[in-house]
C-alpha cells in the first residue's frame, strides 16, 4: 500500500560510523510506549527502526511504524521524534492505511478495464484520487498526533518544529502530501484553538521560529478581516 512519510523533500543524510541500532530501537520503543500508554491505545502497534539513511517514517496496515536512521539523525529532541511517531500512529488509529489499501484495489480494478488509448487520462485520475485522499489523511494525522502528544505529556508545538524542519513547501496539486506551509498553518490553528496556553509559551527551536515566520503573514491576513475571522472560528 502507499506509505505515509513524514517528509518528501530531503532524501538522504550524512552516514555516521557509530550507528547503534539497538539504542535507536530502545529510544523509539520508549517514546512509543509513553504515547500508547498515556493515550490508552490498544495493543498491537509496533515500532521498527530502519538503518535506511532516508529522512523518513511511515506506517502500514499491519500497525507498524517504521522510523528511518536518517530521520533519527535529523530530529533535535525526543519531543520532535515523539511528534513524528505520534503522526504515524495517527494514521493507524484513523484507519488511513486500510482506506488507502481499499482505494488502491479499486483503482487497480478500474485500470484493468480501461483501454490503452485512455491510459493517460486514467493515470491522471488515479493520481488525483490518491493525492486528494493522502493530503486529507496527512492533515488528520498531524492533528491526531498533536492530541496524542498533549495527552502523553509532550509539548504539541514539537509537531510544528519537526514539520518545519522536514516538510517541503511545494505545490500540492499532484502531491500526496500537502505543502509545508499549509500543514504548518493547519497544525498552528488547531493548537491555537485547543491548546492556546501552550501556544502562548512558544517553543525554543530554530525550526519552530522559522515556522512562525512562515505562518505569521497568513495569520495576520486572516485577522485583518472580520469575515475571515468568522470563517476561521466556525
Kindly list the catalytic residues: 88
Those residues whose C-beta lies under 8 Å from the C-beta of residue 94, and which sit 6 or more positions away, are 137, 140, 141, 144
Q: How distant, in Å, are the alpha carbons of 29, 62, 107 from that of 77?
A: 15, 27, 40
Neighbours of 163 (CB within 10 A): 26
Sheet-wide strand order for 57-59: 46-50, 64-68, 57-59
Kindly state the DSSP code that residue 51 receives in the 8-state scheme: -
d(CA 184, CA 20): 32
Q: Are 194 and 222 in contact (CB under 8 A)?
A: no
CA distances from 175 to 10, 39, 81, 131, 140 (A): 15, 31, 24, 6, 16
Helix (H, G, I), strand (E, B) or coil at 82: helix
Amino acid at each position: 500500500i502507499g506509505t505515509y512519510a513524514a517528509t518528501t523533500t530531503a532524501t538522504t543524510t550524512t552516514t555516521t560510523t557509530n550507528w547503534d541500532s539497538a539504542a535507536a530501537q530502545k529510544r523509539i520503543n520508549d517514546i512509543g510506549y509513553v504515547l500508547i500508554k498515556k493515550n490508552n491505545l490498544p495493543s498491537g502497534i509496533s515500532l521498527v527502526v530502519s538503518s535506511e539513511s532516508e529522512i523518513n517514517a511511515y506506517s502500514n496496515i499491519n500497525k507498524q511504524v517504521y522510523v528511518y536512521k536518517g530521520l533519527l539523525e535529523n530530529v533535535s529532541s525526543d519531543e520532535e521524534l515523539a511528534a513524528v511517531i505520534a503522526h504515524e500512529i495517527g494514521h493507524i488509529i484513523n484507519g488511513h492505511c486500510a482506506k488507502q489499501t481499499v482505494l488502491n484495489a479499486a483503482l487497480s480494478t478500474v485500470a484493468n478495464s480501461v483501454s490503452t488509448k485512455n491510459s493517460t487520462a486514467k493515470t491522471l485520475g488515479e493520481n488525483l484520487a490518491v493525492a486528494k485522499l493522502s493530503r486529507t489523511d496527512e492533515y488528520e494525522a498531524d492533528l491526531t498526533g498533536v492530541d496524542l502528544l498533549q495527552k502523553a505529556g509532550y509539548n504539541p508545538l514539537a509537531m510544528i518544529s519537526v514539520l518545519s524542519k522536514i516538510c517541503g513547501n511545494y505545490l500540492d496539486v499532484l502531491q500526496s502530501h500537502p505543502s509545508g506551509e499549509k500543514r504548518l498553518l493547519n497544525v498552528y490553528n488547531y493548537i491555537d484553538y485547543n491548546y492556546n496556553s501552550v501556544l502562548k509559551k512558544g517553543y525554543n527551536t530554530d525550526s519552530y521560529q522559522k515556522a512562525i515566520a512562515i505562518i505569521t503573514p497568513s495569520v495576520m491576513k486572516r485577522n485583518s478581516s472580520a469575515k475571515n475571522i468568522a470563517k476561521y472560528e466556525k
